[in-house]
């Protein structure tokens, strides 16, 4: 698999895995791809001409971005490891240039997504009601630079523990 810079047309060529299809088809519109391509930090995984994933970060303001990833069910475990490595490199780069907070919405029923977020260092902060395009609730998870976190908040989530 080759990882290349994201282009807006990649979204239209990505056939989403079933676990993401119900939530994210709304994001497959050309105008959304244009926004991600113009303002985001994003990449695409290709096997030949086949789009296997699109992922990246959408800056919100100085020091904060939203992580996103969309996958095809044709992505192999070996190819997923390439995506994982790229995500880790980009997360570290964002930390080095001053991003204190990276957040992402997570489907409470998609265990693979919960596991990957945990492996990348995200922690669940709470439940966002009616957040998904189809009205389903989603978790908000974040990676917060230790110097910026508020230790001792007393809120412990069992969602990521359930994903183990």
pLDDT on residue 79: 96
Question: For residue 21, which phi and psi values (nearest 5 degrees)?
Answer: -55, -45
Predicted pLDDT of residue 153 = 44
pLDDT at residue 156, rounded to an integer? 42
pLDDT number for residue 86: 95
pLDDT truncated to tens, each residue of the chain (164 aa)? 999 999 988 988 888 888 887 767 677 777 878 888 888 889 999 999 999 999 999 999 999 999 999 999 999 999 999 999 999 999 999 999 999 999 999 999 999 999 999 999 999 999 999 988 788 899 999 999 876 445 444 444 455 555 66
In DSSP terms, which residues pair with 124 in a beta bridge?
Answer: 141
Please give, one letter per residue, the 3-state secondary structure of the chain. CEEEECCCHHHHCECECHHHHHHHHHHHCHHHHHHHHHHCEEEEEEECCEEEEEEEEEEEECCEEEEEEEEECCCCHHHHHHHHHHHHHHHHHHHHCCCCEEEEEECCCCHHHHHHHHHCCCEEEEEECCCCCCCCCEEEEEEECHHHCCCCCCCCCCHHHHCC
pTM (two decimals): 0.83
Q: Could you give the domains of the chain?
A: 2-162 (3.40.630.30)
> What burial class does residue 141 get, using C-beta atoms within 10 Å of its C-beta: 0-12 exposed, 13-18 middle, 19+ buried?
buried
Q: Say how far apart CA 37 and CA 71 lie, in whole Å.
A: 17
Look at the block and give the residue holding tokens 């996103």.
68
Residue with tokens 């994933």: 53
């Amino acid at each position: 698999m080759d990882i290349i810079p994201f282009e807006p047309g990649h979204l239209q060529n990505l056939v989403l895995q079933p676990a993401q299809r119900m939530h994210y088809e709304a994001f497959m519109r050309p105008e959304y791809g244009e926004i991600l391509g113009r303002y985001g930090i994003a990449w695409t995984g290709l096997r030949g001409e086949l789009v296997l994933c699109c992922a990246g970060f959408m800056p919100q303001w100085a020091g904060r971005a939203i992580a996103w990833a969309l996958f095809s069910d044709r992505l192999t475990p070996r190819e997923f490891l390439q995506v994982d490595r790229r995500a880790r490199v980009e997360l570290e780069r964002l930390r080095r240039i001053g991003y204190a907070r990276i957040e992402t919405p997570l489907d409470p029923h998609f265990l693979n997504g919960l596991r990957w977020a945990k492996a990348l260092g995200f922690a669940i902060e709470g439940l966002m009601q009616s957040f998904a395009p189809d009205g389903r609730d989603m978790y908000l998870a974040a990676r917060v630079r230790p110097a910026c976190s508020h230790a001792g908040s007393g809120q412990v989530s069992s969602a990521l523990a359930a994903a183990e």
